[in-house]
Structure 1
Amino acid sequence: MNASTDSSSPRAIDTRAIERAVRRMAQAAEPPWLHAEAARRMAEKLPMIRRTPEAVLQWSGFLGASEALLREAYPHAQQLVVEPALVRRERAAPVPAPWWSPRRWAGAAPAAEPLAEEAVTPGSVQLLWSNMALQGQADPTALFAQWHRALAVDGFLMFSTFGPGTLAELRTLYRERGWGSPMAEFVDMHDLGDMLVAAGFADPVMDQEVLHLNWADAAAALAELRGLGANADTRRVAGLRTPRWQQRLVDALQALGSSDGRPALSFELVYGHAFKAAPRPRVAAHTEVGLDEMRQMVRSRRSP
């Protein structure tokens, strides 16, 4: 989906490919590095929230890589997390942290108990936080509606996702060589803003930034890309690629490098912010007001 796509239409993505990628990421000892970096950058925007939330809800806890940041920002808030069933199953058996991981040495607070989506009480949280989970959704508008129900009135939403500028170099490479599509299209931030309004959110604000990452070689770049997801485009080339083709891909990626020979790729990070306004009464074309109700309205206007 891009800026020219109808923002009300679900995305054409292969949900089974998404599930395989999520399962693979959930089996890792740590969430992807880029997810943690996006969380850190989004947390820098938390001071814009004037009210201190009593309850914070993370949508996708492990892969969001945000728990420590949110506990530090709101140490007295109730911390809740919605974890997809697939991730809950994969994370049921604890994975030992590597010897270098801070988790082995820091006495952090215990992780919040993961909840299913249907277990969230409507209107129960003041901050809903979703880091790098939206790009795997076929119908973002439906997910926005779920988030809207979970938030209390005047509650705040913050989320991040990949934008359509992500891996632009890889898209160009595939197109020039006739290799099909390397990944599903990501949603443009203007479309996301329209979807937020359609779901009932008020005053959505969207912004983005582009990260340019370098790797030691093409093999390292491909290894990290596999850890970030999968090709969920329904138009991708069917069947398996040959070793000869994979070598051509490695050579082409290596050629994308700068003067030092290090391959470089771009990632567009999109950030969204909105709040849940108080519901407004619907006004019909013809409205009847009783005499007693009219008297009460007049009295309320006269009272200091």
Structure 2
Amino acid sequence: MDNSAYRIDKKRVRDSFGRAAASYDAAAIMQREVFERMFARLDLVKLAPQVILDAGCGTGLGTSRLAQRYKNSRVLALDIAPPMLQLAAARQPWLSRLAWRSRQAFVCGDIEALPLEDGSVDLAWSNLAMQWCNDLDLAFRELHRALRPEGLLMFSTFGPDTLMELREAASADPAHTHVSRFLDMHDIGDALVRAGFKDPVMDMERFTLTYDDVRGLMRDLKAIGARNATEGRRRGLEGKSFLQRLADNYERFRRQGKLPATYEVVYGHAWKAQPHPSLPGGAQPITLHRHK
């Protein structure tokens, strides 16, 4: 299938996450677990950020925790879906909300077109949001632009084996896309380097959620807003015959009475280098090697 079929429809993403805002926290079990593992990695870096960007903040779990950890910082919460931002802004108890909001800003925007000034952020944080970008190179360039020199980017996203069972089961309808394509960890690392980041560190782990039936998986995906947003999706409702074939195909993966849903989670962090003082525009020196 042509790659354009996997292009993400951003309006669909915005609408899906907006509708899922109220149900997101109850269903986002894996997203919380990935957040906790990512958050623990902050213990390994020395950082005292003045300004933090939570890119793809959702309902504000990360925004709140980052503000608590870095009490002297200002946290910018950015999300593409306004209802998510509204919940993030209302997350704190009312007694502390006024003081907490004085250190926050809630911005509706897209990671691929950040509404931020150059060099305005010390820590760019993004938990399971980068997979909704169409151009990862552009997204990393935007994050690089927004970071100050020696600023840190820390993120998680999905790798290619994510929802591999659902992808295979959905091959019952080869004319349409049903699951997004996700980039390999090494390709993501290469994109970081192309964007100008230094010392990228990448690793990966797998999570498996289990369900009694396919309907349970589909309900969870709908509840967190992770609907099929690819341009090659079927427009309108899926027919009963396809849904039955999907369920039948998925049965081949049943183990010990449960259906698995695999998630390959890629973690990465990298630093923005200091510009070279002797070259204009922060350009970096190039060393040429003579081949004999």
TM > 0.5 fold call: yes
- Counterparts of 1:115-264 in structure 2 under 5 Å? 115-116=107-108, 119-175=115-171, 178=174, 180-228=176-224, 229-237=226-234, 240-259=237-256, 261-264=257-260
Using a 3 Å threshold, how does the CA distance of structure 1 residues 93 and 170 change in structure 2: closer, same or farther?
closer
Residues 263 and 116 of structure 1: CA distance in aligned 2, closer, same or farther (over 3 Å): closer
Deviation, 1:105, is 10
Go from structure 1 to structure 2 and tell me whether the alpha carbon gap of 1:52 and 1:268 turns closer, same or farther (over 3 Å shift). Answer: same
Distance 1:227 1:51, change over 3 A: same
CA contact 2:54–2:77 (8 Å) conserved in 1: yes
Equivalent positions of 1:63-142 (< 5 A) are 63=59, 65-84=61-80, 87-88=81-82, 90-91=83-84, 110-111=100-101, 112-116=104-108, 119-142=115-138
Cα offset for 1:42?
A: 0.7
CA change 1:115–1:233 in 2 (3 A) is closer
Conserved 8 A contact 1:218-1:263: yes
CA contact (8 A) 1:55 1:125 kept: yes
CA contact (8 A) 2:85 2:106 kept: no
**Paired positions, count:** 271
Structure 1 residue runs of 5 or longer lacking an equivalent are 286-304
Note the residue ranges of structure 2 that are not aligned, 5 or more in a row.
288-292
Contact 2:155 2:268 in 1 (8 A): yes
Task: Verify the 8 A CA contact 1:174 1:180 in the aligned structure 2.
Answer: no
C-alpha separation between the residues in 2 aligned to 1:61 and 1:238?
28
With over 3 angstroms needed to count, the CA separation of the structure-2 counterparts of 1:180 and 1:133, relative to structure 1, is: same
Aligned residue among 38, 47, 50 for 1:42: 38
- DSSP 3-state at the match of 1:212: strand
Within 1, Cα distance between the matches of 2:186 and 2:119? 27
Distance 1:24 1:130 in 2: 21
Deviates more, 1:202-211 or 1:15-24: 15-24
Query: 2:21 aligns to what?
Result: 26
Report what 1:299 is aligned to.
none
Q: Give me the TM-score of the superposition, normalised by structure 2.
A: 0.79
2:10 is matched with which residue? Answer: 15
CA distance in 1, matches of 2:31, 2:271: 23
In the superposition, the TM-score normalised over structure 1's length comes to 0.76
Is the partner of 1:110 in helix, strand or coil?
A: helix
SS, match of residue 170 in structure 1? helix
Structure 2 contact 177–232 (Cα < 8 Å) conserved: yes
Amino acid at match of 1:23: G
SS of structure 2 residue aligned to 1:165: coil
Question: 1:248, CA displacement in angstroms?
Answer: 3.3
Which of these residues, 248, 267, 272, is aligned with residue 268 of structure 2? 272
- Show CA shifts across 1:132-151 (max 9, x none): 11111111111111111111
* One-letter identity of the residue aligned with 1:202: K
Contact 2:77 / 2:85 at 8 angstroms: preserved in 1? Answer: no
Contact 1:185/1:233, CA 8 A, preserved across alignment = no
Q: 1:104 to 1:154 in 2, by over 3 A?
A: closer
1:178 CA drift (Å):
4.6
What corresponds to 1:54 in structure 2? Answer: 50
SS of the residue aligned with 2:154? Answer: strand
